[in-house]
Amino acid sequence: MVLLIGNYALDQQHSMQRFGDLMLAGLRAAGVDAELVRPTPLFGNIFGARGLGKWLAYIDKHILFPFRLRTQLSRGPSIVHVCDHSNATCIPRKRSTPFVVTCHDLLAVRGGLGEETDSPASFTGRFLQRWILRGLHRADVIACVSSATAKDAKRLVSGAKIDIVPLALNFDYRKIPPAEARAILQRLPNFDVDLPFVLHVGSNLRRKNREGVLRIFARSQDKWNGRLVFAGEPLSEELNALAKELGVSHRVVQIDNPTPETLRGLYNCATALLFPSRFEGFGWPIIEAQACGCPVICSNTGPMPEAAGDAGLLHQVDDEEGFVVDLLRLTNADERARWSGKSLQNAQRFSRERMITRYIDIYRELGAKL
């Protein structure tokens, strides 16, 4: 039996929650007995996920859950798979069961060590990231989602075997009929489905470079009648102020924390995904967009070229004029159709079956009887 360790629900790491569910469904579909466990919110429920609740949640995750894990290990699973490296703190020092960890990125760990990753850590954050790193040293295999992350792992982690297993789509992102996609977006308040738009999916973290997205759009606004749609975390006060300063706030649309179905509609209808991130562990929106036939204009750093493949329109992060040129290029229907076809082809590399097969191979290499 494969015991999967998922993420704490109150942390609201939705993509990581879906990855755990994806692993469980994929293993069971492949005929592998699997169970998914997560830290149970008890103390964290008292005040919610912020403020004092954040500290109480550490009791749930780092004190209570290890006791529960010991009970699970006593039942004799063949292997334990930690689905997010941030939970590597739960790996026991002494054990007989092999542990595999999926490492999505080491940006926070690197930030905790003082490296420049646009992910600075507080005093307590540095302690937590070093704790996570110590847990990774105890893993048997670290499965990195990209070559860029594997490069970091080989430099920072000793003792564990480093492997590469690209992520799979964690939702049924696909090209759907235009009428179906429009119907999804028509359910959004004050969303005009007849106006073209360029899309950004993500958060306000500095490494996501939303200020760059605004500047790129501002440079293009006089050359087409499109809008800029931000899907994910609401824009910060600073970003809203920048949009106003650039004269584009009236053409910015915000969709807070959209459902995967809404994202599928957005990807299907967008002129392009604009993704000039500075740092990523993988770049999930890239393959989500491509699976829906949405062309991607992204940075050529880290794992992003690896994810986008030859279907990506790639630029240096600071080459904002280059991003503008390609955005305007994709407003031509024929050009968009050409890059849409390349995107659909590239997205086929990221199937659930391919990812699960690779993980099963890793389990068996560790001697697990499945």
CATH superfamily assigned to domain 178-347? Glycogen Phosphorylase B; (3.40.50.2000)
Residue-level pLDDT at 173: 97
Residues of the chain within CATH 3.40.50.2000 domain(s) are 2-168+351-365, 178-347
Dihedral angle sign, alpha carbons of residues 344, 346, 349, 350: negative
Contact by Cβ (8 Å): 204, 236: yes
Angle, CA 141 vertex, CA 136 and CA 142 arms, to 5°? 55
CA distance 72 to 90: 12
Q: Single out the residue of 94, 78, 134, 148 nearest to residue 359, CA to CA.
A: 78
Look at residue 299 and give its three-state secondary structure. Answer: strand
Contact by Cβ (8 Å): 57, 44: yes
* β-pair partners for 299: 315
CATH superfamily assigned to domain 2-168+351-365? Glycogen Phosphorylase B; (3.40.50.2000)
Contact by Cβ (8 Å): 336, 308: no
CA distance 366 to 15: 27
Residue-level pLDDT at 368: 87
Q: Single out the residue of 130, 157, 129, 131 nearest to residue 143, CA to CA.
A: 157
CA distance 205 to 224: 28
Blockwise average pLDDT, block size 10, the chain, 370 residues? 94 89 97 96 75 79 92 94 96 93 95 88 89 96 96 95 95 96 95 96 95 98 95 96 97 96 98 96 95 98 95 97 98 97 97 96 93
CA distance 79 to 99: 6
CA distance 115 to 105: 14
* β-pair partners for 30: none
